[in-house]
Chains A and B, each alone.
Chain A
Amino acid sequence: MVTTQPRGVVARTGPDRVAALVWLGLALAVGGQFAALLYAPEEATMGNAQRIFYVHVPAAWVGFLAFAVVFGTSLGYLFTRRRSYDLAAWASTEVGVVFTTLAILSGSVWGRYAWGTWWSWDPRLTTTFMLWLIYVVALMVRAYGGAGGQASRFAAVLGVIGFLDIPLIHLSVVWWRSLHPLPVVVRPEGFGSGLHPAMLQALLVNVAAFTVLYLALFSVRRRQMATADVLAELKDDELRLAAPRWAGGQEVPS
């Protein structure tokens, strides 16, 4: 647990890479929105409503990426018990839930225009919704899971179980009829062949922007958590030093 302390100090003195990530992510996001709204052509059947695509797809991608990171770091935590893995899993769960929420909400708005309904129990929507629920529950486990590393252990177990459950959830919901559009980016006919080139470029800029924003938010949260650890440790030390004074009812000569 003490390992977090030097990192807190280093982060203050060295070049602030986290801030650089934040600025890079924001710059890319602004560029991405220009590309999505002005550069990419209007879609033939859905019109301008289709431009939600440039938020929806990157957000969904980052959600899955974040939960894959949770899976890897959870395994790492279970086998090494290093606090840094645990904090990474926690931070990635939080950011992943935020981006999955964004993907679901933007998809819902888009679905209202494209399909005429806010929600349909289509395989990919259902899988994403279940995914969102699993990681919201993982945050609950973090909050109520108990002290002394127990919550971390439980959340790590759930991080492993939840991720391996995704293909099973998807298989079971695919047993229903699909309303979601077929893949347009990664297809057997070649990468991006289902999209207008300008649309693909706009999409890729936005995917890059969202990925960098994920890394930035992830790093910020992880640093905050590490700092909170250091602070808790300092408070503990202070209490321990003060304890004999309080117990004896008089000052201990220093």
Chain B
Amino acid sequence: MGALSAVRLLVWKDLLLELRTKEILTAMAVFALLAAVVFNFAFSPSPAQAAALLPGMLWVTLAFAATLGLSRSFVLEREQQCLEALRLFPVDRSLIYLGKAAANLLFLLLVAVLILPAMAALSGIALGSRLLPLAAVLLLGGVGLVAVGTIFSAMSVHTRIREVLLPVLLFPIASPVLIAGVKATAGILAGWPLRAVLPGLRILAAFDLVFVVLGYLLFEFLLEE
């Protein structure tokens, strides 16, 4: 079987499961909306403050929503002994990583598509022409979060403290994504020229590259029995 069709099969498996149960996406989306509401309760920002707070609120919400989805990602595999079946799947273990990461990325991006306009509307900010650069930042940041998150999800599901360990592992390592993501988003919303936002995009792209490659190389060590 070709590598690409193997990854496609793995993503399709996760999508099919999600289409039938609708657990992960519902939980992530509702959580993200709740977070948006809670942030507004906590800060009750004026319109001027809302613009300054939006990048931080957006990324904190996405990061926590990502941990929700990621923690389910391997719990499902474990509950029904699907992990054994996955181990028997006659392809390179690294492709299993790519498949799981791609499915997780899809869920996270769907939540981002929902939460970005919702948060902008709640804060009274018009996105308009800034949508395209924002989409680029969200895509790059999402890949980074999911690239490390999938590694740590596979790790934490085998430990005694599962859901507790995942965010504790994820946030320090993913801090470059949060820092660069927040600052790039803030820059775009403030109408900076592309040149000023570029360093952030470059950091995000470098992070994505490093951790997709590391996940690809190290994943076999996480699936051992």
Interface residues of A (CB under 8 A from B): 78, 130, 133-134, 137, 140-141, 144-146, 150-151, 153-154, 156-158, 160-162, 164-165, 168-169, 171-173, 175
Contact = CB atoms under 8 A, between A and B. Distances in A.
A169 B176 contact: yes
B5 interface: no
A153 B224 CA distance: 9
B161 A175 contact: no
The size class of the interface chain B forms with chain A is 20 to 34
A145 B164 CA distance: 12
Contacts of A144: 159-161, 165
Contacts of B183: 175
Contact of A164 (B169, B203, B214, B221): B214
A109 to B, nearest CB: 24
Given A140-B168, A153-B224, A157-B222, A172 B180 contact: yes
Interface of B: 148, 151, 155, 158-161, 165, 168-169, 172-173, 175-176, 179-180, 183, 199-200, 203, 206-207, 210-211, 214, 218, 221-222, 224
A168 B207 contact: yes
Contact of B169 (A78, A151, A158): A158
Contact of B222 (A133, A154, A165, A175): A154
A158 B172 CA distance: 11
Contacts of B169: 137, 141, 158
Contacts of A137: 168-169, 172
B172 A133 contact: yes
Contacts of A145: 158-159
Contact of A150 (B158, B180, B207, B211): B158
